Amino acid sequence: MQLSSMVASPRQLLQHCISTLHCIVSSVFSVVCYWTAGACKGTTSPRRSVDSKLEQRKVQNAMTPTSVNYHFTRKCNYKCGFCFHTAKTSFVLPLEEAKRGLKLLKESGMEKINFSGGEPFLHDKGEFLGKLVEFCKLDLQLPSVSIVSNGSLIKEKWFQKYGEYLDILAISCDSFDEATNQLIGRAQGRKSHIDNLYKIRSWCQQYKVAFKINSVINTFNVDEDMSEAITQLSPVRWKVFQCLLIDGENAGETALREAERFVISDQLFQEFLDRHSSVSCLVPESNEKMRNSYLILDEYMRFLDCREGRKDPSKSILDVGVKEAICFSGFDEKMFLKRGGKYVWSKADMKLQW
């Protein structure tokens, strides 16, 4: 018995040592696993948790669709040679579906909607557009509702019916020489694009809509001096774009336009800007500023990513929601702010002399 007890005692001691060592190893392993898992989940420490929440908030803020450009139609009655949103389809969403998408955008933080094309007044003689403008201002109560148009199809009766709901109307005009507009394709037949521009300017003043002008600077107008005409028209903003190539739209084998002959260098664009430096409402947009600083929705309500020099569509916000679709927009918020994308865009705040 005594011998047996003496033999058993070292064995028990060895088992106890092994058990203790096992507990120590398990404890260390558990701690390592806890901290590793915590690092993945952002819960490693209160400090890391705060940092993680800040990063998530930054991402969330960057993905807020504050200002959205909805190109609900691609069809146009003009044939501008550099057009970078061409008539590749004739599709237009049903009105109620378009309204549903706009409501989703408002719920995600949209403050400004800009309707564009193609030519937005072409579809249903402007009635479709008018109903969307009214919906955005009355139902969604957006601070800013704007339109970009070539102006050729706008009638005074449209202003009478929908003008009160519209904050800004931008008319595209690339030259104050009729022959140059004809060369560019900014025309329909022999109608005067410039006469129409002045007429719309007077309607905007009469019906209390802020008037804006957009110009694309290219090989045909780069040497022109537009200072006098712009000063006379006195728009709230004069957006001056450098002609931009987009693969599949105005460049490449599948494109409907060949814009290479319209493209100008950065130096020529800067010379144009310098010539017009006295025009206080001028807002310049080079290729660098323009390419990724717009949230663009196409006719299917898909965000278009232009980072690779083409328009790669996301899934439609009508199918997957705004938060998922916007992740594939390629939107650069810093460049959006740098180019002056955020400004006083509600006519109620502009203090204009009507």
Catalytic residues: 76, 80, 83
Q: How far apart are CA 62 and CA 84, in angstroms?
A: 26
Comparing CA positions, the residue from 142, 137, 119 lying closest to residue 72 is: 119
Residue 193 DSSP code: H
3-state secondary structure 220-251: CCCCCCCHHHHHHHCCCEEEEEECCCCECCCE
Q: Which residues contact 299 (CB under 8 A, 6 or more apart)?
A: 71, 72, 73, 74, 89, 91, 92, 93
Rounded to whole angstroms, how far apart are CA atoms 310 and 84? 10
Q: Residue 209 is which amino acid? A: V
List, in order, residues 6 or more apart from 18 with CB less than 8 Å away. Answer: none
Which residues in 49-143 belong to E strands, given as ranges? 67-71, 112-116
Q: Give, in degrees to the nearest 5, the angle at Cα 130 between 101 and 311.
A: 45
* Separation of alpha carbons 26 and 23, rounded Å: 5
3 state DSSP class of 330: coil
Backbone angles phi, psi at 93, to 5 degrees: -60, 150
Is the Cβ–Cβ distance between 348 and 73 less than 8 Å?
A: no
Cβ atoms within 10 A of the Cβ of 1, count? 5
Around Cβ 350, how many Cβ atoms within 10 Å? 14
Distance of CA 277 to the CA centre of its chain: 27
Q: Work out whether strand 302-305 and strand 312-316 pair parallel, antiparallel, or are unpaired.
A: antiparallel
